[in-house]
Chains A and B, each alone.
Chain A
């Protein structure tokens, strides 16, 4: 399915979705959580990604963080915001690989997804067809700064105010 990178470009998906029983010799395989232990046990030097529901306990995944190149979090509906919190927790708990949002997101959620730690968005064909890349780029830039601290984006308004105060004091 169409894949949008953090810059809002549609790019080729290097991951191959693995079906149980298949050979795992593709260089980048994306597997289900159920298949993960078996795939990890026989893996060669491929990159492994796992696709998870937005209700998965992080404890189930944390032991595999180092072995995982990608975690894909399913958004069953664009209005289901659990994936944002799960992404934030995965980042906090030390996952440094690629985080992918998978589902019918809308362009207006792109900035939120990036701020919560996602690197890319995998969309259903129809949704990508309606929302060309320029919509995602524009929507992501809707706010030049926002208020929340501690999210993965440029300096928040609070931090910019703080910087201005320090500058005023030193200048």
Chain B
């Protein structure tokens, strides 16, 4: 993992002092509430429905056991004993008092954490594949470049007052687990015909009220030119992105309005005009960062663990859990293990302080002290010896963290919705809970197989409903919550936006409607075919028919 040097340490401490000063200037009236708002947002402090919310950056989803313990402490001391992991690999506390925020920031700085740019119209926390450095299908670990971008984007003098927020995601693997095509910039590490690695740059993806799949703006950027290229792209956006309408201010709208060719031409012209050597990080700096992400000292192990196989054979519940929660690892005899934060009927992404400590302890004992946060709101122990999987599973069970549902229908992504959020038009969490309970039966979940449900409580789409295999969008119609169902969305390298199936449903009608969609799939799938593939093969027609029939039935 990356460790702060003296400069990073001082930078984060100075940011805390700066925020204290900003709060004081607000209190003295030197700056107005309107002026203060973006300053607090750029430090992760939101005003929600019932309280302030503090969003803590977990850069590219990498977290140490020590950091997780500190989050557990903060949750206990300043919140209600839990935290909430978000779809951008961050952690939110929902109940801190404003006056405690500077003290929380100090505690975070003690473990090399911060809230810098977790909100506001600036470059946000950089996200990455949760299996970075671990995945068998990886060309190169994307965390060093994510860290380089984290540093470069922090308190950027030119790009801190952008037209709108700006999200960057990176992946180094063939299979996209970071949803790079629905980010303002998606960065894929690729290899060119000469065998060199570089970056494919995708721009203009995003969800919200105008969902769009990103387009390639540079198919191969030499690694050494990254910062200069980003500066050129951001300058074009900062200068030309729309500022007349906040709903049209994301870079996706600029790309859409002028076309990807024109956007590309403007970026390339800007890039050509730059003195790149004065902007780029030198090779040694890149190497310095990369060295922190060297593989941990794995032991030499056989590729297949007899202990693990024997435990699987003897314990079907363990085997069922391992089938969905365990991911192959680069290192022989190791596995990456996803801890589901989607207990049946629980709030997706919530974790108690006690559970955080349990997970931290397991990371220390079994995973070189390291954890990851996934954009699907789960945690990962990235380096567990297969020999240890059974012991870890038992310990997770004691902490109520052994739900065997990763990637299955109850592994639901949901935004906080109207239970917390000031922007929400409907509740999301109770819908997730109802669906989780409806599909609770483990055997049935396994029978259904991989199926991603994503729920947003408003059109801003924090729950990524557009790219859910089944998406649920909560709206408000004449004072009632109304849920719009979409089908066929996909956040991976096959990124697709879901199609709306029909009129909105009441909260109570949602589970039956989802049940109908699942029935169509189970009735029509080919052997081994996942839900999304059946939807692709058949199109939405048969699903839509069943959905409309269900609505008629409900109305009758």
Chains A and B are bound partners: yes
Residue among A78, A82, A92, A146 making CB contact with B155, cutoff 8 Å: A146
Q: How long is the Cα–Cα vector from A145 to B162 in the complex, in angstroms? A: 22
> Is there contact, CB below 8 Å, between B285 and A162?
yes
> Is there contact, CB below 8 Å, between A106 and B35?
yes
> Is there contact, CB below 8 Å, between B21 and A138?
yes
Residue among B25, B29, B158 making CB contact with A81, cutoff 8 Å: B158
Residue among A108, A130, A142, A165 making CB contact with B29, cutoff 8 Å: A130
> Is there contact, CB below 8 Å, between A84 and B157?
yes
| Nearest opposing residue in chain B for A166, CB measure | B284
**Lowest 5 CB-CB distances: which A-B pairs, in order?**
A81-B161, A115-B157, A112-B157, A142-B18, A150-B279
> Is there contact, CB below 8 Å, between B22 and A88?
no
| A146-B157 contact in complex given A81-B162, A84-B238, A108-B22, C-beta closer than 8 Å | yes
| A116-B158 contact in complex given A84-B238, A131-B31, A161-B285, C-beta closer than 8 Å | yes
B243 adjacent to chain A (CB < 8 Å) = yes
Binding site for A on B (CB under 8 A): 5, 7-8, 10-11, 14-15, 17-18, 21-22, 25, 29-32, 35, 38-39, 121, 151-152, 154-162, 227, 231, 235, 238-239, 243, 273-275, 278-282, 284-285, 288
Q: How far is the CB of B405 from the nearest CB of chain A, in Å?
A: 40
| Nearest opposing residue in chain A for B231, CB measure | A150
A148 adjacent to chain B (CB < 8 Å) = yes
> Is there contact, CB below 8 Å, between B160 and A81?
yes
> Is there contact, CB below 8 Å, between B158 and A85?
yes
> Is there contact, CB below 8 Å, between B31 and A160?
no
| A135-B158 contact in complex given A85-B235, A108-B22, A162-B282, C-beta closer than 8 Å | no
Additional A-B contacts beyond A89-B235, A130-B29 (10; CB < 8 A): A81-B162, A84-B157, A84-B158, A92-B274, A111-B157, A115-B157, A115-B158, A143-B14, A147-B11, A147-B154
Q: How long is the Cα–Cα vector from A86 to B236 in the complex, in angstroms? A: 10
The residues of B that contact A40 with a CB separation of less than 8 Å are: none
The residues of A that contact B285 with a CB separation of less than 8 Å are: 158, 161-162
> Is there contact, CB below 8 Å, between B157 and A157?
no
Residue among B5, B14, B274 making CB contact with A161, cutoff 8 Å: B5
Binding site for B on A (CB under 8 A): 78-82, 84-86, 88-89, 92-93, 106-109, 111-112, 115-116, 130-132, 135, 138-139, 142-151, 153, 157-158, 160-162, 165
> Is there contact, CB below 8 Å, between A78 and B35?
yes
The residues of A that contact B22 with a CB separation of less than 8 Å are: 108
Q: How far is the CB of B432 from the nearest CB of chain A, in Å?
A: 35
> Is there contact, CB below 8 Å, between B273 and A92?
yes
Q: How far is the CB of A154 from the nearest CB of chain B, in Å?
A: 12
Q: How far is the CB of B6 from the nearest CB of chain A, in Å?
A: 9
| Nearest opposing residue in chain B for A79, CB measure | B161
> Is there contact, CB below 8 Å, between A165 and B14?
no
Residue among B32, B151, B239, B282 making CB contact with A82, cutoff 8 Å: B239
> Is there contact, CB below 8 Å, between B158 and A151?
yes
Q: How far is the CB of B161 from the nearest CB of chain A, in Å?
A: 3
The residues of A that contact B38 with a CB separation of less than 8 Å are: 79
> Is there contact, CB below 8 Å, between A108 and B158?
no
The residues of A that contact B15 with a CB separation of less than 8 Å are: 143
Q: How far is the CB of A116 from the nearest CB of chain B, in Å?
A: 6
The residues of A that contact B121 with a CB separation of less than 8 Å are: 79
Q: How far is the CB of B254 from the nearest CB of chain A, in Å?
A: 13
Q: How long is the Cα–Cα vector from A93 to B275 in the complex, in angstroms? A: 11
Q: How long is the Cα–Cα vector from A15 to B62 in the complex, in angstroms? A: 53
> Is there contact, CB below 8 Å, between A112 and B21?
no
Q: How far is the CB of A141 from the nearest CB of chain B, in Å?
A: 9
Q: Can you give 14 contacting A-B residue pairs, CB < 8 Å?
A: A85-B235, A89-B239, A106-B35, A108-B22, A116-B158, A130-B30, A130-B31, A135-B30, A142-B21, A143-B14, A143-B15, A145-B7, A145-B11, A150-B278
The residues of A that contact B274 with a CB separation of less than 8 Å are: 92
Q: How far is the CB of B24 from the nearest CB of chain A, in Å?
A: 10
Q: How far is the CB of A72 from the nearest CB of chain B, in Å?
A: 18
> Is there contact, CB below 8 Å, between B160 and A88?
no
Q: How long is the Cα–Cα vector from A122 to B356 in the complex, in angstroms? A: 51
| Nearest opposing residue in chain A for B5, CB measure | A161
Q: How long is the Cα–Cα vector from A158 to B248 in the complex, in angstroms? A: 35
Q: How far is the CB of A101 from the nearest CB of chain B, in Å?
A: 12
